[in-house]
Chains A and B, each alone.
Chain A
Amino acid sequence: MTAPLTTDPSTQTADPEAILAGQSAKQIEGRSLGQIAWLRLKRDKVAMVSLGLVILFLLVAILANVLAAIEGQGPFKFNSETLNFDHGSLPRGHFGGVSSTHWLGVEPTTGRDLFARLVFGARTSLLVALTSTVLSVGLGSLFGVMAGFFGGRIDSLISRSMDLILAFPQLLLLIALTPVAIDRLAGLGIGGGAAHLVYLITVIGFFGWPYIGRIIRGQTLSLREREFVDASRSLGATNSHILFKQLLPNLVAPILVYSTLIIPTYISLEAALSYLGVGVIEPTPSWGKMLSDSVVYSYADPTYLLIPGVALFALVLAFNLFGDGLRDALDPKAGR
């Protein structure tokens, strides 16, 4: 055996970032990678503002009932008095019917309160986007890291499955399977709008995992040849230890970044699928559906288009900027 692999803490170089911040190397000793990243993130103003926005949107979604109650409106009530049925069922008054009773105006042709629908829509959209992200990122990370680490037959099996799923005419399948799947879910006691939500989350999550799976597999392929993996292995670490204690922490950065970037994509996907009749159904509000419904009203009622448009824009931008900031914080070498 060659020289023992002992490390002397005193020989470790101090974190340059910590020095930058005017902290001594001694103080930083006990800090974890996460803490260091958080420190960096805190200094990134754009990322912090974005994080604030994301948290705000989450709060709006969680407190939808409270906010709608404060306004005194519900998302499902048809307010006939707010519409001019002689003129294309457009809202009466300026800016799409904005008033003290309807803070953001009302939906053309139905008169449903847009503020109430916006806050309840945030709930639907974020629920769908976040849960399907968790599902696809979870599956993708698990299978990706396994494919990359084990290689051989397991890699072939997982990679070919990914190819299969990617090559599938998903949209056609989704549309064709919807009625059957909804009936099955109804048989399991999940009926109506809930069945559509569960189905939507499942399909978005399931068809999304190969994308992240491929990224993780590629990262794992390069990571598994690194010295620390060899070191762990030579010290007799089990596969599961290397997978989950050695590799996965090193993959946190791409996983987190990918997640924050995929969430806005899933919000848009929810919108597209809702339009094709696979997504959430009336009268459930969602931002995607609000936007696809409102696009044609760009001339007749521009306020209606502006509301979900601005909301979606802010949400997507916030997630994207936060994702960027997070990537910089987690992996300062990348991108700069």
Chain B
Amino acid sequence: MGERMTLLATRAQKVAVVGACLALAVTACGGSSKSSNSSGPTGKKGGTLFLINDADFDHLDPQRTYVSNSLNFTERFMNRTLVTYKSVPGPSGSELVPDMATDLGRASDNNKTWKFTFKDNLKWQDGSPVTCADFKYGVSRGFATGVITDGPTYAFADLKLDLKADGTPVYGGPYVAGSNGGFDNAVQCTDPKNIVFHLAKPIGDFNYTLSLPEFAAVPQAKDTKAQYDNTVFSDGPYKIETYSRSKQLTLVRNSNWDPKTDNVRKAFPDKIVVKMGADPNVIDTQFISDTGDAKTGIMNATNVQPQDLDRVLNDASLKKRAVNGFDGFALYIAINTSKVKNLKVRQALAYAMNLETFRGAYGGKEYGDYARGIITPALKSHKDFDVFGIKKSPTGDPAKAKQLLTEAGVKTPYPIKFDVRNRPATVKAAAAAKEALERNGNFAVTLNPLPVGPYYGLIGKKATQSDISGGGWGPDWPNGSAVIPPLFGGNLSTVDGSTNYSQLKDPKIDSLIDAATSETDLTKQAKLWGGLDEAVVQDAAAIPTIWTKTTQMYGSGVKGAFLHSFYGEIDVNALSVA
């Protein structure tokens, strides 16, 4: 264990954090995207597309980008990767296609070696060629953790590197002199046309990881280190013209991008303008009234707020300018198994929950479906089980809950402290849970609202985490391997900052996780993850609550908007405004 796992967890957590807060998730494959308005690849060139956002992007530096709307933006407009997601509505949006590589990679050595071949005529915005060295340099930047912060750390966890005694890589990135720590062997430019990754362990779906811009190219000569967020050097269809942080970002066409090398990006608008800083409620109003920049703009960082949902989805003139569908996220309540040790008490909590009032607090049916597992139905790893009888009675089973508490032989009312992220709807949902647990079971619940920003850091402190904590999870790629190990892996149970918010350390679960990870047949692997999902819910390490949906609007001047199943938001790629 040690630092590697910590970093791995931090990465996974970050997506969850941001996704949960905006309900716009990095998702695997949101199955039932209901978008009707997908005019496909046909669109006219020209015009200016506006993105109306409440805040600045967290990062645009590819190695630091890790929030869904930033990923969507940078991957589609400026930073190409070896492989990327299809730009189509529906579940196939989560399928990989080659981007700068000619295929999806060729694995050998029991999935421990992955080889990719570059396309021809790949160019930077100044016309110089994109080389294998640029890719290797890009990956190396992620190791400079003092400078390149907040990004994913798959490179740390997956590549075959020399490790220090504490499990962290010896390699410290390109900005410090010293040992290369095996990095040169882990990422090899065998010849100018090929790049090879050597992994520490077999990973059957490693190419999904490579779709993250953590593995995008950066030319060493243009690297401005911590300032690279502002000066991103583009190999995509657009490049930065002006960037006034937290106010406005303007992109213009990159004349050196060759559409013949790119079968994903459409690049219809001449200009992309991102406006930042409006209140989410105000953004709703702008799109509902369809005026100003919103007329040729889309929602990107926010989604339709609960109070406007019903209006937008039931007024035909508004609904035709909205996308609505599952965003790949599962909300759940983690039960801290180091504090609530008694299995019967944990099960009583689950039976006492009232999902109807809980989901009601978020806005009811339009906010999502009642969840029965942490792996959403959109994933191939999903297994359809119903441990706590949600299908029959989403309002809970008071008799069963009370009976389990009696059997457990604990003093009642059983005190429960509940960590809640201090957002209006989230706290209301927690109040609903409190009422249900006290009414249906014999619990005495105290809500513990924690600040929104550092929430996941606070509940990640294993010693001070409360009895139960609210959370949300969207996987980094469409497989159970991006859900079960980070949330329930025993190796993370005592690591501060890790995403194992159930603090679960169950040898039976851990051996099943090991078996699933090393399974090279992905279909078989998916089955194993589904079984694990059911096992952790039976163990009541978490109470799944909602598989969430998202709703976003776009202006009447925008064509080609659809909900992308991986990004869980409008795909910025296929839009046209002319």
Minimum CB–CB distance from B290 to chain A (whole Å) comes to: 16
User: A282-B428, A297-B307, A299-B311 given as contacts; is B363 within 8 A of A109 (CB)?
Assistant: yes
Q: Is B449 an interface residue (CB 8 A)?
A: yes
Q: Is the CB of B361 within 8 A of A110?
A: yes
Minimum CB–CB distance from B544 to chain A (whole Å) comes to: 18
Minimum CB–CB distance from B54 to chain A (whole Å) comes to: 14
User: Please, which residues of chain B bring their CB within 8 A of the CB of A110?
Assistant: 357, 360-361, 428, 431-432
Q: Is the CB of A87 within 8 A of B310?
A: yes
User: A110-B431, A111-B360, A282-B431 given as contacts; is B308 within 8 A of A179 (CB)?
Assistant: no
Taking beta carbons and an 8 Å cutoff, which residues of B are in contact with A?
281, 305-311, 314, 354, 356-357, 359-366, 395, 420, 422, 424-425, 427-428, 430-432, 434-436, 446-447, 449-452, 458
Which residues of A in the span 85-113 have a Cβ within 8 Å of any Cβ on B? Answer: 85-90, 108-111
User: Please, which residues of chain B bring their CB within 8 A of the CB of A297?
Assistant: 307
User: A85-B359, A281-B447 given as contacts; is B308 within 8 A of A299 (CB)?
Assistant: yes
Binary contact track A269-292/B, C-beta < 8 Å → 1, others 0:
000000001000111000000001
A-B contact pairs, 8 of them (CB 8 A): A78-B360, A80-B357, A89-B364, A110-B357, A277-B450, A282-B431, A296-B307, A299-B311
Given contacts A89-B362, A109-B428, 20 further A-B contacts (CB under 8 A): A78-B432, A78-B436, A85-B364, A87-B314, A88-B309, A88-B364, A89-B360, A109-B360, A110-B361, A110-B432, A175-B451, A277-B449, A282-B428, A282-B431, A282-B447, A293-B424, A296-B281, A297-B307, A300-B308, A300-B311
User: A76-B435, A109-B363, A299-B308 given as contacts; is B357 within 8 A of A282 (CB)?
Assistant: no
CA distance A111 to B363 in the complex (A): 12
Q: Is the CB of B425 within 8 A of A109?
A: yes
User: A83-B360, A85-B360, A179-B450 given as contacts; is B431 within 8 A of A296 (CB)?
Assistant: no
User: Please, which residues of chain B bring their CB within 8 A of the CB of A192?
Assistant: 446-447
Q: Is A249 an interface residue (CB 8 A)?
A: no
Taking beta carbons and an 8 Å cutoff, which residues of A are in contact with B?
76-78, 80, 83-90, 108-111, 175, 178-179, 191-192, 277, 281-283, 292-293, 296-297, 299-301
Nearest chain-A residue to B425 (Cβ)?
Answer: A109
User: Please, which residues of chain B bring their CB within 8 A of the CB of A282?
Assistant: 420, 427-428, 430-431, 434, 447, 449
CB-based closest 4 A-B pairs? A88-B310, A85-B364, A277-B422, A89-B364
User: A77-B435, A109-B363, A110-B361 given as contacts; is B449 within 8 A of A88 (CB)?
Assistant: no
User: Please, which residues of chain B bring their CB within 8 A of the CB of A80?
Assistant: 356-357, 360, 395
Q: Is the CB of B447 within 8 A of A88?
A: no
User: Please, which residues of chain B bring their CB within 8 A of the CB of A90?
Assistant: 310
Q: Is the CB of B366 within 8 A of A88?
A: yes
Q: Is the CB of A88 within 8 A of B363?
A: yes
User: A179-B450, A277-B422, A281-B449 given as contacts; is B365 within 8 A of A109 (CB)?
Assistant: no
Minimum CB–CB distance from B13 to chain A (whole Å) comes to: 19
User: A78-B432, A281-B447, A282-B431 given as contacts; is B356 within 8 A of A109 (CB)?
Assistant: no
Minimum CB–CB distance from B303 to chain A (whole Å) comes to: 14
Q: Is the CB of B308 within 8 A of A87?
A: no
Cβ-defined partner of B364 (8 Å) among A86, A277, A299:
A86
Nearest chain-B residue to A77 (Cβ)?
Answer: B435
User: A110-B431, A192-B446, A296-B281 given as contacts; is B307 within 8 A of A88 (CB)?
Assistant: yes
CA distance A88 to B433 in the complex (A): 19
Which of A111, A175, A277 is the most central at the interface, judged by chain B CB atoms within 10 Å of its CB? A277
Q: Is the CB of A300 within 8 A of B310?
A: yes
CA distance A283 to B418 in the complex (A): 13
Minimum CB–CB distance from A298 to chain B (whole Å) comes to: 8
CA distance A84 to B431 in the complex (A): 19
Q: Is the CB of A87 within 8 A of B364?
A: yes
Q: Is the CB of A89 within 8 A of B363?
A: yes
Q: Is the CB of B307 within 8 A of A85?
A: no
Q: Is the CB of A281 within 8 A of B427?
A: yes
CA distance A282 to B420 in the complex (A): 10
Minimum CB–CB distance from A131 to chain B (whole Å) comes to: 22
CA distance A175 to B450 in the complex (A): 10
Minimum CB–CB distance from A299 to chain B (whole Å) comes to: 7
Q: Is the CB of A283 within 8 A of B435?
A: yes
User: Please, which residues of chain B bring their CB within 8 A of the CB of A77?
Assistant: 435
CA distance A270 to B214 in the complex (A): 44
User: Please, which residues of chain A bring their CB within 8 A of the CB of B364?
Assistant: 83-89, 109
Which of B308, B309, B364, B451 is the most central at the interface, judged by chain A CB atoms within 10 Å of its CB? B364
CA distance A292 to B356 in the complex (A): 24
User: Please, which residues of chain B bring their CB within 8 A of the CB of A84?
Assistant: 364
User: A78-B432, A110-B428 given as contacts; is B360 within 8 A of A277 (CB)?
Assistant: no
Minimum CB–CB distance from A20 to chain B (whole Å) comes to: 55
Q: Is the CB of B308 within 8 A of A283?
A: no
Nearest chain-B residue to A87 (Cβ)?
Answer: B310
